[in-house]
Amino acid sequence: MAAATKASDRIGTYRISTAGGEEVRAYVPPPLPPKPAVDLGPFYSQIEAANRAIGHLDGVTSILPDTPLFLYMYVRKEALLSSQIEGTQSSLSDLLLYESNAKPSVPIDDVREVSNYVAAMDLGMRRIKGGLPISNRLLKEIHATLLRKGRGSTKGPGEFRRSQNWIGGTRPGNALYVPPPPQEVTRCMSDLERFIHEQARPLPLLVQAAFAHVQFETIHPFLDGNGRLGRLLITLMLHAQGALKEPVLYLSLYLKTHRQTYYDLLQRVRTHGEWEAWLTFFLEGIQETSRQAADTAKAILKLFEKDRKAIEGLGRPAGSALQIHQYIQGKPYISVTEAAKALPLSVPTIRKSIDHLVDLRILSEMTGKRRGKIFVYREYMERLSQGTEPIH
């Protein structure tokens, strides 16, 4: 009986709301932290292991010869994965081709959605570095960028919703979950903002981020983009509190791989107050994601070094070819025209340098055309693209 009482104390209330012409029971979560509190005793070894993994990742990325280049690509991978969870069919190649003004292989709205996410992440990090705390104001700014064009641009970018939404099901009446009524959203989000800045009884940062993510997804404060912004909130919190110098930890690959478990655990918090199961899953994800990101950074570092040595063996042409190699570390798709705009090299020199890199099997041509050729740094793309296959 005591266990049942404990669980029920963590569960919110239901309000009658209207969506799509139907009356539905909308869920209003209790404020954070959960009450009764989660006993963190059994979690301390897991929290410590997760913090160590983050520290190792931060150390690895700090010794990269060109951290901004790694971030440039890694942020795009996260944007892609987070959008794929929501059903986008883009690949990393599609995004990079779009950014290079080449034609992607999927509908342009899919790629634009991922590109918006990159811009939203960049904005969030810049605003935090500029001193703006994580707040509803900041979340609205990021959301406005996330939905600025393409799909979702008509769904109130940067504004909390003023109508009822729902998750799953073919209509509100058979939805898997119905978030709070619109008139409750501002209050719920104010409570969440207070929790994020709560100093009276500080929780370990990872626990705080785990709780905040679930609460944000439960409130679902916007008409669109909640999943993507809720996942970004985790990284924003870790970066704002100094756990990560650079924004290199993203959970989307882990959540994509285990997406049904992820959705089930979010729902079990709402229906049964099972914060402990969610926290276990979240901390495991932090460890796994940190290891994967560190391994990827180290593997890419080795690849760049291997290819640089091969280029140095060219002799006199090495200088120009090394400039092209540096360029493709940030833009793995290259054309002569684009390189000529970006680099202080003549068109004939760029052509010769690209030919050298093709001979060394660093670049390969991907269009099969006589003109307008595009070359790809294939091995680099293969390492970056692991796990980014679209969900079918």
Tell me the per-residue pLDDT of 118-129, one tens digit each, with 9 for 90 and over: 889 889 989 999
6 vs 268, which has greater pLDDT?
268
Q: What is the pLDDT of residue 6?
A: 53
Q: What percent of the chain is modeled with pLDDT above 70?
A: 88
Architecture of domain 313-384: Orthogonal Bundle (1.10)
Question: Which one has a higher pLDDT value, 153 or 312?
Answer: 312
Q: Is the pLDDT of residue 76 over 90?
A: no
* CA–CA distance, 282 with 267 (Å, rounded to integer): 14
- In angstroms, the CA 150 to CA 157 distance is 11
What is the pLDDT at residue 304?
92
Q: Residue 364's pLDDT is what?
A: 93
Determine phi and psi for 267, rounding to 5 degrees: -70, -35
Task: Look at the block and give the residue holding tokens 């012409």.
Answer: 21
CA distance 341 to 392: 38
Residue 59, burial from CB neighbour count under 10 angstroms (0-12, 13-18, 19+): exposed
Maximum average pLDDT range among 61-70, 104-113, 143-152, 300-309 = 300-309
Read off the pLDDT of each residue in 295-303 and give the average, rounded to a whole number: 87
Given CA atoms 284, 90, 72, 212 in this order, what sign does their dihedral have?
negative
At residue 33, does pLDDT exceed 50?
yes
Residues of the chain with CATH 1.10.3290.10: 2-296
Predicted confidence at residue 4, as pLDDT, reads 44
Q: What is the C-alpha to C-alpha distance for residues 235 and 54, in angstroms, rounded to an integer? A: 11
- pLDDT single digits (tens) 12-26: 999 999 988 899 999
How do 375-376 and 364-365 pair as beta strands?
A: antiparallel
- CATH 1.10.10.10 residue ranges of the chain are 313-384
Q: What size, in residues, is the chain?
A: 392
Q: How many Cα neighbours within 13 Å face the side chain of 27? A: 24
Tokens of 93: 């190649």
Distance in angstroms (rounded) separating the CA atoms of residues 178 and 172 = 8
Q: What is the DSSP letter of 37?
A: P
- pTM as predicted: 0.86
Domain 2-296 belongs in CATH node 2.60.40.1120: no
39-43, 103-107, 276-280 — which is least confidently predicted? 103-107
Cα separation, 114 vs 124, in Å, equals 15
What's the distance, CA 335 to chain centroid? Answer: 28
Which residue from 109, 42, 9 is spatially nearest to 276, judged by alpha carbons?
42
Tokens of 82: 């987070």
Residue with more model confidence, 73 or 330: 330
Q: Which amino acid is at 212?
A: A
